[in-house]
Amino acid sequence: MAAGPFIRIIIQLAIPFVRAFGAAYQQALSNARRDGANAARESLKKAKGMTTTEATQILNLTESEATNLKTVEESYRRIFEANDPKNGGSFYLQSKVYRAHQVLVLQHREQQQEQEQQK
């Protein structure tokens, strides 16, 4: 008989916590939606992607070394393998290295096409 009032007291004390948890969860969802929209806006602002300067920094090259495709390939392979997740590296860093390689190779191809068109 004494258990009934005790359970009611526990329930009365738990109700504010459940309401607070629900409100906090709703606020977290709202923040996540807003932050997601902001991140999408920022990515649209930077539509071009990685710059050649960023790519040369990621591959640890100078501007003059970045024009030599062989040097770019060597640096890419070395850093890509060093960041292999199988060897304890980071997939995120490996993907940045891959993207930097793509940017520099694309730049090299565009320069070659421009030179051929000028001839």
pTM: 0.58
Tens of pLDDT, residues 61-118: 998 888 899 999 999 999 999 999 898 988 999 999 999 999 899 888 888 888 888 8
Question: Would you tell me how many other CB atoms lie within 10 Å of the CB of residue 50?
Answer: 16
92, burial (CB in 10 Å: exposed 0-12, middle 13-18, buried 19+): exposed
Name the average pLDDT for the chain.
Answer: 84
